[in-house]
A and B are shown apart, each in its own frame.
Chain A
Amino acid sequence: MTTLTLTQPRLPTRGVIWTLALAWLAVTLLPLVFVVFTSLKSQQDTFDSPVWALPSHFDWSHYAGILQSGFLTYLRNSLFVVGASVTLILVISAMAAYALARLKFRFNKPLFGLIVAAMIVPLHITLVPIYLMTKGIGLYDTPFALIGPYVAMSLPVSIFILAEFMRQIPRELEEAAQLDGCGPFAIFRKVFLPLSGPGVATVAIYNGIHLWNEFIFAYVLTSSPGTRTLPLSLWDFQGEYSSNIPAMLAVVTLTSLPLIVAYAFGQERIVKGMMAGSLKG
């Protein structure tokens, strides 16, 4: 009879792991704590107290000021651009991933290779051509200007992640659906899409975070405050509050808040999605 034992790391090893984990937690958490606490200090408090001191009292006035001075417009633009982009990314990448993972057609593998290779193209070299194209079709300085580039830059990694998910779905399910009378589109819609739920969620969260923080395309393709997204709010508020550090950090806090919430709820799927490409079932 064999016994299965789960090997626990030895005590010194566990000590090292805990130390490193706590150090990493400090590295990631302390800046966040600093930002939140400083944003709640009064300006006077910021200058008088040490950098890491807690606020003498919670001053919410910066938040109120920011919310009244156009922040909600940035938020609305971000929600629109990211929402529309992620929806399009999910629809296109899921369909492409299914075709590349399961349909037999000529040049399937080279095409998949080409799409994966697109992940290594530095995005910044596409800035100028995209700027010129956006100007050319009259979308410059509108929220719509961002959707096309966002979708295009996110598709390769999204297709890669979803294709890996779909490859792991047993072929017999596809064949059973064929026998049940489904064509390729029905198989995709009724079998593959529901079964790729975790992959689709991963792609949505991953791209949502990435696009929420995207700065350079938003900076180049929009110019007026009414069309700009949240990452640019920092840029714009910087001029307004150049000497008001708590106000600046209140903007940072408000900008990060949706992401922190998203990560808190979806971290398991995000991590699973990161692993999807690296582990083959």
Chain B
Amino acid sequence: MTQITLKSVHKTYDGGIQVIRNVDLDIGAGEFCVFLGPSGCGKSTLLRMVAGLESISAGDLHIGGVRMNEVPPAHREVAMVFQNYALYPHMSLYENMAFGLRQAKVAKPEIDKRVQEAARILQITHLLDRLPKALSGGQRQRVAIGRAIVRQPNVFLFDEPLSNLDAALRVHMRTEIARLHRDFKRASTIYVTHDQIEAMALADKIVLLRAGKGMLDHGSVAQVGSPMDLYHRPRDLFVAGFIGSPRMNFLSATVASAERGQITLQVDGSAGADRLLVAADFALPAAGSRVTLGVRPEHLAPGAGDGSAAITRRVRQVEHFGEHSYVYLDGAEGDEDFIAKVTGHSTARPGDNETFSIPSSACHLFDSAGFALSRMHA
């Protein structure tokens, strides 16, 4: 069982471009950890640093309690599955899977046993004599996973392994990977993706990374937690906006009054019409301070409710998906669209005015710096 620890890890490329800043992270033994984030946030770079394919500019990486900063990739007991599979084109599938074991001078009968076993698990036994070019994308991905399995590593590393597959196959392989992780529970897994659905479906722990100025100001890690943690208790506006699809709606507002369990907000641009009462036990903001109210599209309820927290907006567009529909409402001046996820039977039409109530229990409040106001009783 192998624990992975990163302490104050930084990565700066030649020329002073910083891509990873101050990452502190513990990945438990047997844990499935997903690195998630927008393009350019350094999630693949961080994975490659764990693999030993990128150097660590500053900080320490420990795998199984041993400092690994200068240890070559082959001696880190890790196996990696690449985005484009990285199968050796001139070798049969059997040879692809056996190659690492041959390099490690494992006995031939043992190599054969492990390859056959991995092929059986991945249902590719009948393909072992073929070259990679004769396989479909999904089959290639299985071989890439098989190549990792046969090495019996302590850590599995996946670098966006499903992004080259079509949507249906992606869902199928996602469940396969989850099953494999359960079967190989002794190994820890780090999985990189930009797809939050993959992250939510697979992860025990999500590490959400940020890019650009946010990374330089606050470090690379935006939040670490279980998928439900990130969904229900986002630490700041970036996390709240990134997790969830469609993204969380934000309304800029001023605190009109704040008492324990009851905060009244004046939403910008609404001239008294949208005065919202948030009946939840948040850390109290000062009256007159600027805040951002966040509410997820799926938490907006059609109708005015009890009238204490409702907004009325003109419908700009409606998208029907059968099971549910997205209603796009005009945002406040300068704000982005406001989206409501409603049942598939919604009769809302573009041009109509629709009213939605905002349940206090589903509200998120962020201070002027963008950090979430914590709930007193979560």
Q: Which residues of chain A come closer than 8 Å to B87, judged between CB atoms?
A: 176
CB distance from B233 to the nearest CB of A (A): 37
Binding site for B on A (CB under 8 A): 170, 172-173, 175-182, 186, 190-191, 194-195, 197
Q: Identify A170's interface contact among B52, B53, B78, B84, CB under 8 A.
A: B84
Q: Identify A195's interface contact among B83, B86, B89, B99, CB under 8 A.
A: B89
Of listed A176, A177, A182, A194, residue having the most chain B CB within 10 A: A176
Beta-carbon contact of A179 and B79 below 8 Å: yes
Q: Identify B86's interface contact among A172, A190, A197, CB under 8 A.
A: A172
Q: Which residues of chain B come closer than 8 Å to A182, judged between CB atoms?
A: 74, 103
Beta-carbon contact of B103 and A178 below 8 Å: no
Q: Which residues of chain A come closer than 8 Å to B72, judged between CB atoms?
A: 178
Q: Identify A178's interface contact among B74, B79, B83, B90, CB under 8 A.
A: B74
Beta-carbon contact of A176 and B103 below 8 Å: no
Beta-carbon contact of A181 and B53 below 8 Å: no
Q: Identify A176's interface contact among B52, B78, B86, B90, CB under 8 A.
A: B86
Q: Main SS of the interface on chain B?
A: loop
B167 within 8 A of A: no
Beta-carbon contact of B80 and A176 below 8 Å: yes
CB distance from A189 to the nearest CB of B (A): 12
CB distance from B146 to the nearest CB of A (A): 13
Task: Sort chain B's interface into a size bin.
Answer: 20 to 34
Q: Which residues of chain B come closer than 8 Å to A181, judged between CB atoms?
A: 74, 100, 103-104
Q: Which residues of chain B come closer than 8 Å to A179, judged between CB atoms?
A: 51-53, 73-74, 78-80, 100
Q: Which residues of chain A come closer than 8 Å to B80, judged between CB atoms?
A: 175-176, 179
Q: Which residues of chain B come closer than 8 Å to A191, judged between CB atoms?
A: 88
A179 to B103, CA, bound (A): 10
A175-B73, A176-B87, A182-B74 known; 20 new pairs, CB 8 Å cut-off, are: A170-B84, A170-B86, A172-B84, A175-B53, A176-B80, A176-B82, A176-B88, A177-B88, A178-B52, A179-B52, A179-B78, A179-B100, A180-B74, A180-B100, A180-B103, A181-B100, A181-B104, A186-B103, A195-B90, A197-B90
CB distance from A94 to the nearest CB of B (A): 15
Q: Which residues of chain A come closer than 8 Å to B90, judged between CB atoms?
A: 194-195, 197
| 17 pairs, CB–CB < 8 Å, chain A vs chain B | A170-B84, A175-B51, A175-B73, A175-B80, A176-B82, A177-B99, A179-B53, A179-B74, A179-B78, A179-B100, A180-B99, A181-B103, A182-B74, A182-B103, A194-B90, A195-B89, A197-B90
Beta-carbon contact of B89 and A175 below 8 Å: no
List the B residue with the shortest CB-CB distance to A195. Answer: B90
CB distance from A264 to the nearest CB of B (A): 26
Q: Which residues of chain B come closer than 8 Å to A170, judged between CB atoms?
A: 84, 86
A179 to B73, CA, bound (A): 5
A222 to B88, CA, bound (A): 47
A170 to B83, CA, bound (A): 12
Contact residues, B43-65 vs A (CB, 8 A): 51-53
